[in-house]
Amino acid sequence: MNRRDFLRSSSLPALAAAQQPQGQRPGGKPNVIWFFGDQHRAQALGINGDPNARTPNLDNLQSMGVQFSNAVSGFPLCCPFRGSLLTGRYPHHCVVGHQYPLPDGQPTIAQPLKDAGYRTAYFGKWHLGGWQESQGRAAMFITDPKKRGGFDTWVGYENNNSQYDCWVHGGAGKDAFHYRLPGYETDALTDLLIKYVKEQAAAQRAGKGQPFFAACSVQPPHDPYVAPPEYRQRWSAGNIQFRPNVPNIAAIRGQAAREMAGYYPMVENLDFNLGRVLTTLHDEGLFFNTHLLFFSDHGDMLGSQGQFRKMTPYEESIRIPFFIAGGQPNYDGRLTGRTAALLNAADIAPTTLGLCGVGKPEWMEGRDLSGFRIRKGENSPLPDSAYLQTVVPTGHGNSTNKAYRGIVTRDGWKYACFDGVSWLMFDLNEDPYEQVNVAHNNVYRAERKKLIARLRQWVADTGDRFNIPDD
């Protein structure tokens, strides 16, 4: 089957027409899959209006599930996001910066799921072992088995940034392994996930299996922007359409066009592999009893505001795609469409537990927002805001290299400050591309004071420490 036929076969109409699978266990606990990329901004979806994006499978997820259109990466950087993702804790209590490890003894989502009878597995990028790349290439680093989050199956790597030279490791002692993945990273990691899903499906059909939780973390579309040739050949820098907030400056637009000509085919390849996962769930009889969560760790500026990569509170950096799908539309009362609920990295683990009917442990700080996907008798209240922060800056060239704190609110305001001084303030309802900074405009002083007060409350409520300005 060629790629075009595969995409057609994995589309929503074919999946929705599927009969009830024999492998589903009546009343059994649902399986859960996390499938996520790196540096995939929320704007880079066809369903979100990006003319560059070819994402048919992702676009279908909103029809078979819920898109959280206000999902954010509160600390838009790999390691802090992943720490929050796995623990449900905010970065200042967990992973405070680039190349910082998970704290010793910190439990992850694997523990409460295992206690509830789940098999757990993790595949792909980890970036929580604490390796400093100044000491050598992270792909050759072997993560201590005690620092792999407690997963039953773990096949991963610390960091890579080389899509055709991706090394994974796992096991321990005589069972340890370390090898180079065949072919392109996203394709090969998806192969590992699919193999695992098929094994779990076979066990469940035989009546010997447990519900499973599997996470697959791929690095694309993270830079370097290298896509498989069969995707890349249809793109050139000359056919890119820019967002309105990419300045008309030759050097900036030239770099942005070159990078996006690699970025978007990487997104298309990620979408194709999502289609492979959906089709596997259907073919293995798991489609109706598996929650699939698709998201990213943060976005990519790609020239917007004249900036590149991440680490800023601008929309292209903090907004991430986030879907909860599984089963055909409205199956078993599951909600579909979009929700405006704000969701942050620390909310993903509690929300996942909620989907499984597993209680949130006391050490998780995030909110369970699963009620926006599955009916629980009462509607979950909409969070009024989400907390933004950089705790320890990276020092990288394409970063905002000062610590900051900020919020984005449900009613469409954003505010961020440096130590003791206001920095950014936008009315996203009137200015979605953040072209008019009103942080120092006293016409907006009353609103600014409200935002500052709410941010100060976030600092207090989360046990953070930061010098928030008075005005």
83-104 confidence digits (pLDDT tens): 999 999 999 999 999 999 999 9
Q: Is residue 169 part of a domain?
A: yes
Instruction: Give the confidence band of 2 by pLDDT, cuts at 50, 70, 90.
Output: very low
Is 469 inside a domain boundary?
Answer: no
Does residue 98 sit within a domain? yes
For 88-240, list the strands marked E by DSSP: 119-125, 153-157, 167-170, 177-180, 212-217
Among 343, 342, 333, 377, which Cα is nearest to 65's? Answer: 333
Say if residue 236 is in the same domain as residue 104: yes
Last residue of a domain, one of 311, 346, 380: 380
**What is the residue whose two structure tokens read 């990419």?**
246
Could you tell me if 357 and 413 lie in one domain? no
Q: What is the pLDDT of residue 6?
A: 31
The pLDDT assigned to 20 comes to 44
List b or e across 426-444, with b for residues whose CB sees 16 or more CB atoms inside 10 angstroms.
bbeeeeebbeeebbeeeeb
Q: 471 in a domain, yes or no?
A: no
Poorest-pLDDT segment among 16-20, 229-233, 259-263, 459-463: 16-20
Q: Which ranges in 300-442 belong to alpha helices (H)?
A: 315-318, 345-355
**Residue 123 has what pLDDT?**
98
Band of residue 329 on the pLDDT scale cut at 50, 70, 90: low
Shared domain check, 34 and 122:
yes
What confidence tens digit (pLDDT) does each residue in 198-228 have? Answer: 999 999 999 888 999 999 999 999 999 999 9
Structure tokens at 48: 């979100």
Select from 120, 176, 112 the least CA-distant residue to 153.
Answer: 120
pLDDT at 48: 95
111-158 pLDDT, tens digit per residue, is 999 999 999 999 999 999 999 988 999 999 999 999 999 999 999 999
Residue at a domain's end among 346, 380, 414: 380
Q: Is 389 a domain residue? A: no
Q: What is the CATH number of the domain that holds 89?
A: 3.40.720.10
Q: Is the pTM of this model over 0.85?
A: yes
Domain that holds residue 294: 3-18+28-380
Residue 260 lies in a domain: yes
The full 3-state SS of 263-315, as one line of letters, equals HHHHHHHHHHHHHHHHHHHHHCCCHHHEEEEEEECCCCCCCHHHCCCCCCCCH
81 and 172 inside one domain: yes
> Does 354 lie in the same domain as 289?
yes
Contact (Cβ atoms closer than 8 angstroms) between residue 382 and residue 340? yes
> Residues 6 or more apart from 443 whose CB is under 8 A from it?
none
Q: Are 408 and 363 in a shared domain?
A: no
Asked if residue 172 and residue 49 are part of one domain, the reply reads yes
| 278 & 411 share domain | no
Q: What is the mean pLDDT of residues 292-320?
A: 97
- 158-167, 244-253, 310-319, 379-388: which has the minimum mean pLDDT? 379-388
Return the closest-CA partner of residue 151 out of 193, 109, 192.
109
Q: What is the pLDDT of residues 442-451, one digit of tens each?
A: 999 999 999 9
* Position 4 pLDDT exceeds 80: no
CA dihedral angle for residue 69, residue 287, residue 156, residue 350, rounded to 10 degrees:
50
Q: What is the pLDDT of residue 8?
A: 33
pLDDT band at 193 (very low <50, low <70, confident <90, very high): very high
Same domain, residue pair 81 and 167: yes
Same domain? For 268 and 376 the reply is yes
pLDDT digits (tens, 9 = 90+) for 356-372: 999 999 999 999 999 99
Q: What percent of the chain has pLDDT over 90?
A: 85
Tens-place pLDDT, residues 376-429: 755 667 899 999 999 999 988 887 889 999 999 999 999 999 999 999 999 999
Together in a domain, 298 and 434: no
Kind plus residue range of the DSSP H or E element containing 69: strand 65-71
309 shares a domain with 427: no
The answer to whether residue 388 is domain-embedded is no
| Cα distances (angstroms) measured from residue 112 to each of 32, 38, 44, 325 | 14, 26, 34, 22
The edge-to-edge listing of strands for the beta sheet with 421-427 is: 385-390, 404-409, 413-418, 421-427
| Total of domains in the chain | 2
Q: What per-residue confidence (pLDDT) applies to 375?
A: 77
